[in-house]
Amino acid sequence: MISGNTSALTIAESLGKASALSVGLGAAAVRLSGLITIEQLREAVQMELEELGLDAQVIEENLRLAEEVYGGLENVTIQPEKVPPKELVHEMAYDHVLLGTPSILAPGNAEARQTGSWRVERPEINYEHCTRCGLCFVGCPDGAIALDEQGYPVIDYDHCKGCLICLEQCPRHSIVSKKEVRSW
Amino acid sequence: MVRKMLTGNAAAAWGARLAQVEYVPAFPITPQTEIIESLAGWFADGALTGKFVTMDSEHSMVTAAGAAATTGVRTFTATSSQGLIYAMEALYTVSGWRVPFVLVNVSRGLSSPITLGPDHNDVLAARDAGFIQIHVETCQEVLDSVLMAFRIAEDSRVSLPVLVNLDGFFLSFTREPVEIPNAKLVQEFLPAFRPHHPVFKGSQSVAQGVAVLDGAAYSYFRYQMHRAVENALEVHEEVAEDFYRLFGRRYGALEEYRMEDAETVLVMAGSFSTKGKAAVNRWRDQGRKVGLVRLRLIRPQPAAELARLLTGRKAVGVIDQNISPGLGGILYQEVAGALASTSDRPPVMRSFVGGLGGKDISPAEFDRVLEVLDEAKSGEGHVPCELLFTDAEYKQVRTALSVAGKPLEGRAS
Ligand code: SF4
Ligand code: SF4
């Protein structure tokens, strides 16, 4: 479905990025739905990104991407399936209370959930000014900061939720925050 | 076995004492306070061992009760009215943990205006919280139901908190002869608590109250809770049978009163059912074929049995001691729902609201109910609920209003 004026690479890149919001994906979805005009798409992207406080230039890049993706996809007619796919419907019986209770008995599985995907603000350490005092390491409520062999703090971005407590803690102001939302 | 003149509150406390509860988080509120005062005394003099803790609010109290039950100790608590409403968030939370404990609610009308007399808007506000609900009529039934409640709550097919509801004043402060069961027999009926749910122990890590953040997992646990509440119907029946065998008193999910040949049926809940039974007796003396069904188990709803009892009758009047403004009586809707898919529904079904805030339901008002049911025709479509009130009561309220400076000259009439 990707045609001439948009390279497959551009779209793949934009869709593949693990950012909190994908303009490219949204543009593709509205194009396929056939319900939204390009003007409406531009307006929606503009409003959404402005609310996040992004720079005008970043917003412009996103608008360009949205237009590229929108224009690059052919008009497709989606035929609704005449017979919906057969899905088995579960008959819910009573399970023993040990199963049917939302409690967790197996320890050590919190790591499997990548809580970093919720992050809106991203703390970044400026190592030039870091004195390795370790206060950020101690203060992080999520244990998302480790110390490397030299004693420098290293943030685990898979689990850092972006609360910025580390930033508040750092006596050297050597942790800065960046908006997590990228251009695409 | 000892027979004593006990208030409903004392009977509730005796139930907890005989169940040998190990933890009681408490917060006072009229008309419930006598329950926790009695228990405090027994923890102080050693009749009960364990912990009695006064909390800062009912919200904390119910949370503490749930938390204690997660450690596997037998837990009891009690509240009323505003207290139950204040704990509402915690009610849903702790039932989600699937922990067994018993909460006694002493019904009292909700604010505003403030009152102390009973009605069932407090307890019915909690009807969807995942607690089993037992509504009682007498002081003896208070004590017996607390014991039964622990058995039901602790059964692995249920594993949920159970709420026992008694009416403020009419039961809480009224002395009736109550048989206090023999402690040995109670132990046979209700052995020490052996939890089936995962409990907190020093040697075993458990995370409770977790987030699931996905609709399928959330639905699964909510459906499981629904099934567990449904299971309580069967468990209640078994427990009632055991109770009868040991103590000689039998309790059904519903109570039938003079129902054999009844053509007209009153449906009621709580202590005011006694007034309904008196009306039934009076009408029976006049040759009328009237009976009464008392709703004892509110959750789970014994829908099949309710349908069995009410199909084939000529007229059913549900007297709700609660009001859902803009709808009418709450239990009427539930009774009608239970009959919805039956083929031999009563041709006449009517909703009445009475007894709010402890207001009496007088013989004249009961006669009005019967008159409405007699005159009603089948197929009249929706008829709004009837609000029971007497002329004398209206006059009394107008007198009070005039003392309050109403009506103001020229502003209202
Ligand atoms: S932002 Fe919060 S979660 Fe992330 S590293 Fe800093 S303190 Fe930890
Ligand atoms: S608090 Fe600041 S200075 Fe201290 S270790 Fe962390 S980043 Fe470095």
What is the predicted pLDDT for the residue at A49?
87
**Banded model confidence at residue A21, pLDDT cuts 50, 70, 90:** low
pLDDT over 80 at A173, yes or no: yes
Q: Does a structural domain hold residue A93?
A: no
B299 Cβ contact list (under 8 Å, min separation 6): B127, B131, B132, B133, B229, B232
Q: Is A153 in the pocket of ligand 2 (CB under 6 A)?
A: yes
> How many structural domains comprise chain A?
2
My answer on whether A108 and A175 are in the same domain is yes
**Banded model confidence at residue A16, pLDDT cuts 50, 70, 90:** very low
Q: Does a structural domain hold residue A184?
A: no
What is the predicted pLDDT for the residue at A8?
45
A56 vs A14: which has the higher pLDDT: A56
Q: Does a structural domain hold residue A153?
A: yes
Across chain B, which has 413 residues, the per-10-residue mean pLDDT values are 94 98 98 98 97 98 97 97 98 96 98 97 98 98 98 98 98 98 98 88 83 94 98 98 98 98 98 98 98 98 98 98 98 97 96 98 98 96 96 96 84 56
> How much distance in Å is there from the Cα of A130 to the middle of ligand 2?
5
Q: Does a structural domain hold residue A22?
A: yes
My answer on whether A123 and A59 are in the same domain is no
> How much distance in Å is there from the Cα of B304 to the middle of ligand 1?
56
Q: Does a structural domain hold residue A97?
A: no
| ipTM attached to this prediction | 0.88
My answer on whether A117 and A51 are in the same domain is no
> How much distance in Å is there from the Cα of B217 to the middle of ligand 2?
40
My answer on whether A175 and A106 are in the same domain is yes
Residue with tokens 């870091």, as numbered in its chain: A130
A87 vs B255: which has the higher pLDDT: B255
From CA B305, how far away is CA B129, in angstroms rounded?
23
What is the predicted pLDDT for the residue at A182?
59
Segments of chain B assigned to CATH 3.40.50.920: 255-397
Tell me which amino acid residue B281 is: N
pLDDT over 70 at A9, yes or no: no
Measured between beta carbons, which residues in chain A are less than 8 angstroms from residue B212? 102
Ligand 2 pocket test: which of A155, A168, A175 has the largest number of ligand atoms within 8 Å of its C-beta?
Answer: A175
Sort B104 into a burial class: Cβ within 10 Å, 0-12 / 13-18 / 19+.
Answer: buried
**CATH classification at residue A156:** 3.30.70.20
B20 Cβ contact list (under 8 Å, min separation 6): B48, B74, B192
> Between A and B, how many CB-CB pairs are < 8 A?
61
Q: H helices of B115-214, where?
A: 121-125, 139-154, 183-189
The structure tokens listed for A73 are 């996809």
pLDDT over 50 at A3, yes or no: no
Tell me which amino acid residue B223 is: Y
What is the predicted pLDDT for the residue at A112?
86
| CATH T-level topology, domain B255-397 | Rossmann fold (3.40.50)
What is the predicted pLDDT for the residue at A20?
40
pLDDT over 60 at A35, yes or no: yes
From CA B283, how far away is CA B229, in angstroms rounded?
37
What is the predicted pLDDT for the residue at A106?
85
My answer on whether A106 and A173 are in the same domain is yes
My answer on whether A42 and A110 are in the same domain is no
Please tell me the distance in Å from A149's CA to the nearest CA on chain B. 31
Given the CA of residue A169, which atom of ligand 1 is nearest to it?
Answer: 7
From CA B34, how far away is CA B10, in angstroms rounded?
7
| CATH T-level topology, domain B2-195+210-247 | Rossmann fold (3.40.50)
Q: Is A132 in the pocket of ligand 2 (CB under 6 A)?
A: yes
Q: Which domain holds residue A170?
A: 102-179
